[in-house]
Amino acid sequence: MTWAAPLAFAWAGLTLAVLAFFLLRPRRQRLVVASLFVWRRTIRARADDTWLAWLRRHSVLLLQLLAVVVFALVLARPERLATVELGPPVALVMDVSASMAMADGDGRQRIELARAEAAAFVNSLEDERRVSLITAGAVPRTLAAQTSDRGEVTRLLSGIRAEASHGRLDAALDMARSLANPAAGGIVALFTDQPPAEASDPVYAGVRTVVVGEPAPNVALASFQVRRRLDDRDAVQGVVAVRNDGTAGAVAEVLVSAGRGSPTSRAIELAAGAREILVFDDLPAAPGYQAEVRAPDDRLPTDDLAFASLAEPSELSVVVVGNEPWPIVRALQAVPAVTAQAIAVDSYDQANSSADFYVFQGFTPEFLPPASAVFVQPRAMPALGLDSPANANTRPLAVADSPLLKSIDVGDLVSDSDVTYAVPPWAQVDLSVGERALLAHGVVYGRRTAVIGFDVAGPGVTQAPWFPVFWSNVVRWADPFAPLPDGADLEPGRPARLIPHPRADRVAVTNPGGDSTEFTVPEPAVLEVTVPGVYTVRQFVGQDLMAQTSIEFAPGLATRTVRGGDSAGPSAAVDSSQRIQDQTELWPWLAVLALALVLVEWWIFHRVRGVR
Amino acid sequence: MTERSAGTALPAFAPDAALRAKLANLSLVSQRPHGHLHTGGRRSRATGSSLEFADHRSYSPGDDYRQIDWNIYARTDELFVKVRESEETLVVHLLLDVSGSMASGAPAKLVAAQAVLAALGWTALASRDVVAGAALGNDLGETFAPRQGEAYVARLFEFLDRQRPSGETGLSRAVTAYNARALPHGVAVLASDLLAPDAPRAIGSLAQRGHEVTVIHVLDDEFVNPAFADEVELVDAERGDALEVLGDGDLLRAYRQAIGDWTSDLQRFCHRRHVRYVPIRSNWPVEDIVLRRLREHGTLA
């Protein structure tokens, strides 16, 4: 059993107050009697068993002390390690721009319709699903992060109002993807009155959009997966799920293309709310595949495009080494396709470090493991150019476009226990305090490395909404399987530097035309895009394929880096549920116990009279 | 608090004229001779020199020749002497418990004990018995030297009136000290609330000394039937220590049961040692105690 807030044990000191009140309590009546001789005989006769009689006499006091101790335990928030089933994450994005305050024909505001739609959507989800709630106003805000409490989400939904400003849907959706990446089985649902104007708008890629205000047909790709045929390993089979989420029927055309080849098309007719699955046999082998659905009446074309590849998905293995690793582990476990485990400092075996990503919490290993590494408030590390930590005495400033601070308000994560470091030459500053860094990241010795100076285990930090968002950002940036850093721009004629996995010794880049270029580590690997399409990056350890990543490049579209094998598409219903070791909160049971103790104490005090 | 009687200030507890008139016909009962053949006011089973004729017996050398019945000699020509009854002096020991606990009650138990002992003392002195007394506290207190005759009634009352309740109860130690004075044994009347663990030992010590003992067990209603229904802190009047109780029905019933057991134990103890045990309450009329209950228990006749 662990304790989320061990400092709350200090509340047990109230037992001293209870004892003091007991000892100093006013006597209600003082009665002088001739002698206590017979009274003592009476009490002796009633108290045959001494300790039992003592318990009976002091039952009220004991119950009061016990109640105080149990309340302290409740406040300390005990947790028990247990295996829990986590469903795929869901992120709700509520458009709260000014237009959402408009009323349609029935007189109801669009924000009301959106709230109702969102509430219905939340209620339709399985219990295991973790829900995040984000508002897309001028400043996107995370109201709830990865919570299973439906009541909390409903309450938060009911409090959402339209703002008198424009909505930053792009930032909000980016935040939502960090919490429920559709490429990894999560669901991002947007409730808005503004369907995207262009189908190719990458902002809405993979987002399940619910448009309120006017009914309209909405044809979308529900999922797109490719797999090798069982009877012919050279042939590829594509499975496309198409659905019409709108309120009117539509005629659509589904096109699937392999690499840069000519697309294969099918025409279908979808009634409102209908769903259809199409199987495209005998697709040629290609590094990447594209599926598209076209419908003339479709009011929301942004969810009509999806990519897929044949590579198997890679699970990111994360190890957190420290004395209080569980809050970080839980945040990491909530990130799709991440397997996180905690290791005590004493149990860390440097020689057998095989994870892809390490978080060292207040602990400095002798050697850097061949993986990405995040150091939380480390001591001085001369090998990395880190000096001794110094207390942060002023408010930090955030660097714009920091990949680690996406969708996070810096003011939320400042505390008195923050420390700063001189900026090492390999690092870029994310948060600065004067000339020093509170948060920095970079690549050193071929490893993505970040240094965190703020407290990630302090009171209330782990419950803050930014906490899972921050660790999701960290994972997205530090994922060693992603050769192209998250958010990197691709432009023809500007080779992009690839960062291979620290264990990879060879990198092969294949362009949409099938031409491959190999790089041997430590030779710098680059990706040079020339034509639109899917570029494939393979990383090898010896002759073994370690990871395969598809990188789509389309001029005019933002580049999406998709880990190998993941299918991307609107409302991708890939089951990414996972069983994880998680801490189960025990405080509700203890709270009930404390309440029962108080009630029993009250009953004994008022109903049962006896010799004390 | 006092009344004028024959020019002497009498304490309130002293028997009034009506009670004295009723007591004049009574005397303390002694069921066995105590061997004090002084001139007293009561007959004895022993023979002596009083005026009361008992029998004749043959003359023996050494007999008082003044006791020879010459009339019988004239008729029978033999010498007979007259045998007369002896008159014994009974010593009555009045022992008053003056510990702090005797102050409790309404009226105080000490007042009731003083009234009873005053009545018995008056009766004894009026019967020409010898009366001695002592105040028993934590140890032997003031004593009243043996006196005989009604002339000492006022001094006995003054002795009783001077006693004030104070200190802890040390009945056994006090009685032992009183016995050590080697006064003649007789009838001992102990008036006490017996609220001490060594009370039975004190009673036994009196009986072992040869006294015919009467224990007047003085209790008060508040002590026997306490009435409180909430948390109270009981404070011992003698020792000052405290005990916190919650006065619920169960506890009060248990207390009353303990009182009953305690008095029953005392009664059985007294019975085994041929001690008269007379339980009284402080608020009972002294006439009722003296004229009815003490007579019922055979202390007065």
Beta bridge partners of B245: B232
Cβ A41–B262 below 8 Å, yes or no? yes
> B103-141 pLDDT, tens per residue?
999 899 999 999 999 999 999 998 888 999 999 998 999
Task: Clarify whether residues A162 and A215 are in a common domain.
Answer: yes
Residue A308 carries which DSSP code? E
> B59-104 pLDDT, tens per residue?
877 777 788 888 888 888 888 887 765 556 789 999 999 999 999 9
Q: What's chain A's length in residues? A: 612
A490 lies in a domain?
no
Q: Which of B99, B198, B234 is best to mutate for the A interface (most A CBs within 10 A)?
A: B234
List the one residue out of A378, A539, A519, A506 whose CA is nearest residue A454. Answer: A378
Task: Clarify whether residues A192 and A298 are in a common domain.
Answer: yes
> A258-284 pLDDT, tens per residue?
877 889 999 998 887 678 889 898 888
Whether pLDDT at A556 is above 90: no
Beta bridge partners of A447: A444
Cβ B234–A39 below 8 Å, yes or no? yes
Cβ A35–B193 below 8 Å, yes or no? yes
The owner of tokens 């190719």 is A200
* Residues B142-162, mean pLDDT to the nearest whole number: 92
Cβ A29–B245 below 8 Å, yes or no? no
**Is the Cβ of A611 closer than 8 Å to some Cβ of chain B?**
yes
Give the minimum alpha-carbon distance from B134 to chain A in angstroms, rounded to a whole number. Answer: 22
Task: Clarify whether residues A275 and A182 are in a common domain.
Answer: yes
Q: List all residues 6 or more positions away from A610 whose beta carbon is below 8 Å from its beta carbon.
A: A46, A56, A57, B246, B248, B250, B251
The phi, psi pair for A602, rounded to 5°, reads: -65, -45
Count the domains in chain A: 4
Q: Count of alpha carbons within 13 Å of A266, Cβ hemisphere only?
A: 18
Q: What percent of chain A has pLDDT over 90?
A: 11
A574 lies in a domain?
no
Task: Clarify whether residues A102 and A56 are in a common domain.
Answer: no
Four-residue CA torsion sign, A41, A47, A49, A54: negative
Q: Which of A30, A37, A41, A607 is best to mutate for the B interface (most B CBs within 10 A)?
A: A37
Q: Which of A28, A35, A608 is best to mutate for the B interface (most B CBs within 10 A)?
A: A35
Cβ A609–B247 below 8 Å, yes or no? yes
A558 lies in a domain?
yes
Domains and CATH numbers, chain B: 3-29+89-296 (3.40.50.410), 42-88 (no CATH)
Task: Clarify whether residues A507 and A474 are in a common domain.
Answer: no
Task: Clarify whether residues A416 and A397 are in a common domain.
Answer: yes
Cβ B101–A34 below 8 Å, yes or no? yes
Task: Clarify whether residues A209 and A185 are in a common domain.
Answer: yes
**Is the Cβ of A609 closer than 8 Å to some Cβ of chain B?**
yes
Q: Which of B97, B171, B198, B246 is best to mutate for the A interface (most A CBs within 10 A)?
A: B246
Q: What does each C-alpha distance from B151 to A448, A470, B123, B147, B157 come to in angstroms?
A: 122, 111, 13, 9, 11
Question: Which residues 16-45 in chain A show a CB within 8 A of chain B?
Answer: 27-43, 45
Joined tokens for residue B219: 């209790």
Chain A to chain B Cβ contacts (< 8 Å): 99
Q: Is A158 exposed, middle or buried (0-12, 13-18, 19+ CB in 10 A)?
A: exposed
CATH number at residue A132: 2.60.40.10
Band of pLDDT at residue A558, cut at 50, 70 and 90: very low
Cβ B248–A609 below 8 Å, yes or no? yes
Task: Clarify whether residues A354 and A422 are in a common domain.
Answer: yes
> A154-175 pLDDT, tens per residue?
999 999 988 866 678 888 888 8
Q: Across chain B, where does the E strand assignment appear?
A: 3-5, 8-10, 42-58, 80-88, 91-97, 130-136, 140-148, 187-192, 212-219, 231-236, 242-246, 276-281
Whether pLDDT at A581 is above 70: no
DSSP-based three-state secondary structure for B280: strand
The complex scores an ipTM of 0.76
Cβ A28–B230 below 8 Å, yes or no? yes
Q: Is B193 exposed, middle or buried (0-12, 13-18, 19+ CB in 10 A)?
A: buried
Joined tokens for residue A381: 């590390």
Whether pLDDT at A461 is above 80: no
Which residues on chain A are in Cβ contact (under 8 Å) with B246? 609-612
Joined tokens for residue B57: 């017996």
Whether pLDDT at A569 is above 50: no
CATH number at residue A328: 3.40.50.880
**Residue ranges making up the domain that contains A189:** 84-308
Task: Clarify whether residues A121 and A270 are in a common domain.
Answer: yes
Residue that finishes a domain, picked among A288, A308, A328? A308
Closest CB to A38 among B102, B104, B262? B262
> A168-219 pLDDT, tens per residue?
888 888 888 888 888 777 889 999 877 775 666 777 878 888 888 766 566 7
* pLDDT (0 to 100) of residue A555: 53
Whether pLDDT at B37 is above 50: no
Band of pLDDT at residue B279, cut at 50, 70 and 90: very high
The phi, psi pair for A309, rounded to 5°, reads: -140, 170
Cβ B231–A28 below 8 Å, yes or no? yes
Whether pLDDT at A94 is above 70: yes
Cβ B235–A31 below 8 Å, yes or no? yes
Peptide bond into A370 cis (omega under 30): no
* pLDDT (0 to 100) of residue A115: 93
A167 lies in a domain?
yes
Give the amino acid at A157: L
DSSP A247-279: SS-EEEEEEEEETTSPPEEEEEEE-TT-EEEEE
Cβ B251–A40 below 8 Å, yes or no? no
By C-alpha distance, the chain B residue nearest A608 is B248
A575 lies in a domain?
no
Give the minimum alpha-carbon distance from A37 to chain B in angstroms, rounded to a whole number. Answer: 7
A577 lies in a domain?
no
Residue that finishes a domain, picked among A292, A308, A324? A308
Which residues on chain B are in Cβ contact (under 8 Å) with A37? 195-197
* pLDDT (0 to 100) of residue B57: 77
List the one residue out of A576, A568, A548 whose CA is nearest residue A206. Answer: A568
A580 lies in a domain?
no
Give whichever of A258-272, A408-422, B206-220 has the largest mean pLDDT: B206-220
Task: Give the full edge-to-edge strand order of the sheet including A305-308.
Answer: A264-270, A250-258, A289-294, A305-308
CB-CB contact of A70 with A9 (8 Å) = no
Task: Report the distance separating Cα A485 and Cα A181, nearest Å.
Answer: 16
Task: Clarify whether residues A302 and A321 are in a common domain.
Answer: no
Closest CB to A611 among B109, B245, B257? B245
Task: Report the distance separating Cα A583 and Cα A342, nearest Å.
Answer: 12
User: Of A74-88, A237-251, A577-591, B14-28, which range is least confident?
Assistant: A577-591
Task: Clarify whether residues A168 and A295 are in a common domain.
Answer: yes
Residue that finishes a domain, picked among A478, A505, A522? A478
> A362-382 pLDDT, tens per residue?
888 888 888 999 999 998 888
* Residues A124-141, mean pLDDT to the nearest whole number: 86
Closest CB to B243 among A28, A39, A609? A39
Band of pLDDT at residue A448, cut at 50, 70 and 90: very high
Task: Clarify whether residues A367 and A338 are in a common domain.
Answer: yes
A71 lies in a domain?
yes
